[in-house]
Amino acid sequence: MSEWWTYRPEDFLLFSPRVYWRMFELHNAALWPLQVLALAAGLLIILLLAWRPRGYARWLALLLAILWIFVGWSFLWNRYADINWAAAYVARAFVVEGVLLLVCGPLLDSLAFDRRGLAGCIGYFMLAFALAGQPLLAPLQGRGWASSEVFGIAPDPTAIATLGLLLLARGRSLLLLLPIPVLWCLLSGMTLQTMGEPQAWALHAALALARHRLPPDCPQAFSALRIVTAALKSTSRAARRAATSSSAPHFSLFQSSSTWAAAQT
């Protein structure tokens, strides 16, 4: 077996792109018509932001909490973990995010979604993209509607929408709520980029917007995001340099397990 620094990112993939997108097709078929309810929840979030009735921040946090827990259980634990063992651990993080939203929203009422200016516009844009733009990426890339990623059903649009809402929010609770959506965007963006999928840009753009437009009352979160993204970039560059400079043979997990993963579908 070669030294660890000779491995390329694709050597650690446990599935092929075909298996990955087939997983979304099976997931959407199994949950239909819950996608309609999930989109209705997204529209309800927009209405709450527009009308701002009494206690609307608690209802927003409650809706997000339910969706994070549901996505963690239904997609990551029950489906993604079948082709990626690490997803079982990420599912627990999604449940933790849901619990944090419940505590910071309905229980403590420590959030206010009323930021304006450029950060607010970016937050609304990210929310709109997660609700309406993300599902369109599948047919635009020739995969068909069956593999679309829907807010509240798939993790990527759920995380992007949450980052958009947190850009609209104020409060010290943001320091607790930001890390898990950010880390998921990092992980998913790296996975899509390693597979050569063009829609990895959506996750990278969400990270860039979250990093540069964090609320000013959370300097610690801003610094933490800069450190994480800088470390990720330096690690990725080092891995690419090591891979291109080495001629040693590679043991590819992608090659060894894609056949097994295809059999699961």
Tell me: the pLDDT tens digits for 67-106?
999 999 999 999 999 999 889 999 999 999 999 999 998 8
pLDDT at 134: 93
Q: How large is the average pLDDT for residues 142-146?
A: 90
How far apart are the C-alpha atoms of 62 and 67, rounded to whole Å? Answer: 9
pLDDT at 222: 47
pLDDT at 52: 86
Lowest mean pLDDT among 77-81, 179-183, 248-252: 248-252
How far apart are the C-alpha atoms of 154 and 136, rounded to whole Å? Answer: 14
Task: Enter the tokens of residue 116.
Answer: 């304006």
- Hey, which of 12-16, 121-125, 127-131 has the most confident mean pLDDT? 127-131
Q: Identify residue 42 by its one-letter amino acid code.
A: G
pLDDT classification of 214: cutoffs 50, 70, 90 = low
Residue (of 97, 106, 104, 45) closest to 76 by Cα position? 97
> Helix H segments across 152-248?
155-167, 174-177, 179-195, 200-212, 219-245
pLDDT classification of 261: cutoffs 50, 70, 90 = very low
Mean pLDDT (the chain) is: 79
Q: Is the pLDDT of residue 66 over 80?
A: yes
DSSP state of 129: I
Q: Is the pLDDT of residue 40 over 80?
A: yes
pLDDT at 13: 61
pLDDT at 257: 36
Tell me: the pLDDT tens digits for 224-239?
445 444 544 444 444 4
Peptide bond into 33 cis (omega under 30): yes
Q: Is the pLDDT of residue 204 over 90?
A: no
